[in-house]
Amino acid sequence: MESSTPAPANPGTSPLRVLVTGTSGMLGRAVAQRLQDAGHHVRSLQRRAVHDPWESVQGSVTDAGVLTRAVDGMDAVIHLAAKVSFTGPWSEFQSTNIEGTRELLAAARQEGVPDFVFVSSPSVAHFGSSIVGAPAGAADPERARGFYAQSKAAAEQLALAADSPNFRVAAIRPHVVWGPGDTQLVERVVERARAGRLPLLDGGRALIDTTYVDNAAEAIARGLTRMDHAHGQALVVTNGEPRPVGELIAGICAAAGVPAPAFSVPGWLARGAGSVLEKAWLAAGNRGWVNDEPPMTRFLAEQLSTAHWFDQRHTHDVLDWKPSVSLDDGLAKLSDHYSQHL
């Protein structure tokens, strides 16, 4: 049943009580910290018990009882929790990314939470070909590549379909988020480069844009405070600095003090090999693979061998925001991180 609670006229004018899911990840934690630093009360929802500087609820996004407790008394929800992987059984993506989002939307609406930011991914509208200076396309689970993108596309459709004057929903799609402590991109690049198992595809020439974590966190928080303008929309967020993927990887490797990739393979070959390896991984029940993932999947090969960068003008206008950390400054911060932790 839809809540009749009126949406606040300007949620950025006073402190809010905000539930943030997925704070165990780099981006979720950065979002929660940014909100807390701005004076908002943060409550997190996590599967495991951890020591956080904010209120925390332990449990799963698929547990309706947990979700009811988590959203109780909240002014807004920022939903980042997801299964993020290049491969895996469809049932896991469906349960967490689709059904978890459905349950959280229902709980928030039932408890009268007026605003909901769904953190999505540009991969929901990436169908295997290059994206060159395009706006945010429509999420399409039938055409998206790979289980992660397909499940996030379906979840985004659910979220935006729930948008109404009394339950405002915006979808923010940060693109390839990275920074110190990143286990999704940076750690994989560094580990494979150190082991000599990181080839460039097509010489690393594909032009891609990425998002430094501080910029992504700030944009997501702006999605909440600019809900009057953002609700009902999907907005892609990037640094706005497209670079060849080989140059980006070399920068990450230099920051970590590991050798950059020294060999290249054709993109078509990597895409074919990725399809074969992914099927073998699923057939083997993921046993015996490094980090429980195959070294290449078709989705990953497509991401590394096709251009994907976006027109950011609409995002900047809607959020009244622009990135504060440049790509080069982000790489310098990453270098400082490795200098302190190695």
- Tell me: the pLDDT tens digits for 191-219? 888 888 888 888 888 899 999 999 999 99
Is residue 133 a part of any domain in this protein? yes
C-alpha to C-alpha distance for 39 and 129, rounded to whole angstroms:
43
148 classed as catalytic: yes
Catalytic residue among 118, 148, 212, 310: 148
- Tell me: the pLDDT tens digits for 6-15? 343 344 458 9
Provide the number of structural domains found in the chain: 1
Is residue 257 a part of any domain in this protein? no
Question: 232: burial class by Cβ within 10 Å (0-12, 13-18, 19+)?
Answer: middle
First to last CA, the chain: 53
Is residue 259 a part of any domain in this protein? no
**Nearby residues of 50 by Cβ (< 8 Å), 6 or more positions away:** 24, 56
Is residue 55 a part of any domain in this protein? yes
- Tell me: the pLDDT tens digits for 65-121? 999 999 999 999 999 999 988 777 899 999 999 999 999 999 999 999 999 999 999
Is residue 312 a part of any domain in this protein? yes
C-alpha to C-alpha distance for 194 and 200, rounded to whole angstroms:
14
Sheet of 308-310: strands edge to edge? 131-134, 308-310, 207-208, 243-244
SS3 124: helix
Is residue 295 a part of any domain in this protein? no
Residues of the domain holding 124: 17-177+211-240+308-325
C-alpha to C-alpha distance for 9 and 53, rounded to whole angstroms:
29
Is residue 293 a part of any domain in this protein? no
Nearest to 272 by CA among 245, 301, 246, 292: 301
C-alpha to C-alpha distance for 139 and 132, rounded to whole angstroms:
17
Here the tokens at position 320 are 């009244």
CATH of the domain at 65: 3.40.50.720
Please give the model's pTM, rounded to 2 decimal places. Answer: 0.88
Nearest to 29 by CA among 177, 170, 150, 164: 177
Is residue 145 a part of any domain in this protein? yes
Are 157 and 141 spatial neighbours (Cβ–Cβ below 8 Å)? yes
